[in-house]
Structure 1
Amino acid sequence: MWLVKLNSGYDMPMLGLGTWTQNNRTAAESVYFALKNGYRLIDTARYYGNEKGVGEGIRRAIAEGVVKREDVFITSKIMPGNYNNAAAAIDASLKDLGVAYLDLMLIHQPGSNDKAVYQAMEQGVKDGKLRSIGISNYYTKQQVDEVLSYATIIPAVIQNENHIYYQNTVLQNYVKQFGTVIECWYPFGGRGNTGENFGNKTIAEIAKKHGKTPAQIILRWQVQAGYVTVPGSANPNHIAENIKVFDFELSQDEMKKIAGLNRQRRYENW
């Protein structure tokens, strides 16, 4: 598993499991299966309503000796409905996940109380509850600069929609100077759009050449381009498939071809 050194000093796995749309039951199973299959990054959020399940899956893997707590990088997010009491939201996530600290906490999306939320996360770092902090769904230099104007701890991660048709390399290149890493949700375009991404002629040709699936080519491109990526799935076959991207390498020409697919076209508007 590849790791990236965050500006907080901690190492973050570059590929993990996303749990958006999963309930507690399916999250517990998929997280446990993912950890057994080599995953070490698990992504959830208060809004998902599955933190208890995610925690259950992690505890089961720990109890069976699959991993230790310090082996697992756990990310959660403070949802807009909790922005008026971010400190309590941090504690609620820790309680539901059943852990003493989170490896990464993000503001889920821009809201009306971002400064206070970010400052609550900074206090969480000082209190030992959070190791790294960041933001999600901030897409422009202007949005990032606003956070930087009041941040005393620079965001370690920005988690955004990112796939072959929306690469936003402008933002990635801008935040490199701060040591901030871009993390991708919807690496395959999200539900209803995977066919368009997997069926792309360039992706399909590269997949055939390497004897890999289109999903594996897209994930390999992302980690090779310096992104962290968290494909979501409750399907054991897909979970097992998605992590098998570290036994081959895309050529510079192939990386350029995939970069050329960028249309700056998002599928979502939040």
Structure 2
Amino acid sequence: MKLNLDSTITLNNGIEMPLLGLGVWKSDNQTAAQSVKWALANGYRAIDTAKQYGNEAGVGEGLKQGLAENGLKREDVFLTTKVFNGDQGYESTLKAFEGQLERLQTSYVDLLLIHWPVNGKYNETWKAMEKLYHEGKVRSIGVSNFNLDRLTDLMEHASVKPVLNQMEFNPVEQEKDIKDYCDKHHIWLEAWSPLGHGDALNDPAIQKLADKYNKSTAQIILRWELQREVITIPKSTHEEYIKQNADVYDFELSDEDVALINSLDIDKRSLWYGAFSWNGNPAGIVDAVDEWNK
């Protein structure tokens, strides 16, 4: 499979999306702005953020500066953001989205996702997103963290099919049932937490492959995900690692080695529905807000 940093996939509405991009989860505004500029300077053409991350303003500033510094146009970059859990519902989604565009300093986004399927609200949120899609304010719409029950329910109510489902996906959490469903319905799977934290990065089998291919364990994992045709958005706040994460195109894992990593799945999720407020919020997770950190 010959791939490069310019490689794209075709979403089910015909829009082209880069297969590898930059994620900015847990980055403050200044850090996100700098990471976006580094990414664009090093050939990345996809950026993923969310209102819940509290850094849309930083991403917008980094995008503005990065485009100017690298002689790029807005249409050269595929920008994703997400509907904040507290904004879900029809009118509230539409109203909040205008503020998201303002923070991102753009007139449109390439992909808008429902960040989490808030019970009793995600279908109305989807209707609002369909309106934004038909108005051209978003080029494509999709979901994030939708399990099979919620994804099936959304599909039964939607008039526009989701283009992708962004899920936790890595060697120890491969979401096999969801990927099979998405493949069947021409919905792409996109990976958040693509490196799987320490569980995958420190796995002895992956370390052996890193030695075999003379690559880091992170590069082995990212290459595996690309060969699995999973859209991948690794996060880094260091230019060196941003470069390394994109240095995965001068080798190809054998079928046997792909199968080996496939066998490492232990269905280990780092975060799931039980942690959020519509199920009692036992983990005490708080939604972020956008502000420039002083």
For residues 250 and 211 of structure 1, what CA distance do their matches in structure 2 show? 12
Q: 1:37 and 2:42 equivalent?
A: yes
Q: Tell whether the 8 Å contact from 1:30 to 1:236 is kept in structure 2 after alignment.
A: yes
List per-residue Cα deviations over 1:50-69 (Å, max 9, x = no partner): 11110111111211234221
Q: What residue number does 1:114 align with?
A: 122
| Structure 2 residue corresponding to 1:161, chosen from 152, 163, 168 | 168
- Equivalent pairs counted in the alignment come to 265
Q: Which structure 2 residues correspond to residues 190-209 of structure 1 after superposition, within 5 A?
A: 194-209=197-212
Does structure 1 residue 229 correspond to structure 2 residue 236? Answer: no
Task: Quote how far apart the aligned CAs of 1:171 are.
Answer: 1.2
The answer to whether residue 156 in structure 2 is matched with residue 180 in structure 1 is no
Deviation at residue 256 of structure 1 after TM alignment: 0.3
Q: CA deviation at 1:24?
A: 1.1
In structure 2, how many angstroms separate the alpha carbons of the residues matched to 1:126 and 1:5? 19
Q: Which of 80, 93, 98 is equivalent to 2:100?
A: 93
Task: Tell me, yes or no, if structure 1 residue 132 matches structure 2 residue 166.
Answer: no
Equivalent position amino acid for 1:236 in 2:
E
Please give the alpha-carbon distance, in whole angstroms, between the structure 2 residues aligned to 1:66 and 1:31.
15
- Alignment of structure 1 residues 37-76 onto 2, 5 Å: 37-76=42-81
1:148 aligns with 2:185: no
Deviation, 1:177, is: 2.6
Query: Partner of 2:212: helix, strand, or coil?
Result: helix
> 1:97-149, CA deviations, whole angstroms, 9 ceiling, x for partnerless residues?
01111000000001131111000000001111000101111122x22110001
Sequence identity of aligned pairs in percent? Answer: 39
Matched, 1:220 2:211: no
Q: CA deviation at 1:233?
A: 1.4
Give the residue type in structure 1 aligned to 2:258.
M
Runs of 4+, deviation exceeding 3 Å: none
Measure the CA separation in 2 of the matches of 1:247 and 1:138.
34
TM-score of the two chains, using structure 2 as the length reference: 0.88
The match for 1:80 among 81, 85, 108 is: 85
Tell me if structure 2 keeps the 8 A contact 1:36–1:66: no
Return the alpha-carbon distance in structure 1 between the equivalents of residues 202 and 69 of structure 2: 39
1:251 and 2:258 correspond: no
Contact 1:154 / 1:178 at 8 angstroms: preserved in 2? no
In structure 2, how many angstroms separate the alpha carbons of the residues matched to 1:62 and 1:249?
A: 31
CA distance in 2, matches of 1:61, 1:32: 5
Cα distance in structure 2, aligned partners of 1:208 and 1:68: 40
| Aligned-residue offset at 1:172 | 1.0
Unaligned 5+ residue runs, structure 1?
none
Question: What one-letter code is carried by the residue in structure 2 that aligns with 1:46?
Answer: K
TM-score, normalised with respect to structure 1: 0.95
Counterpart CA distance in 2 for 1:148 and 1:31 is: 33
Q: Which consecutive residues of structure 2, in runs of 5 or more, have no partner in the other structure?
A: 274-294
Contact 1:28/1:56 (CA < 8 Å) preserved in 2? yes
User: Which residue of 1 is the match for residue 10 of structure 2?
Assistant: 5
Q: Does the aligned pair in 2 maintain the 1:35–1:66 contact within 8 Å?
A: no
Report the CA distance shift for 1:66/1:216 in structure 2 as closer, same or farther (over 3 A).
Answer: farther
Aligned residue number for residue 285 of structure 2 = none
Q: Is the 8 A contact 2:41 2:70 kept in 1?
A: no
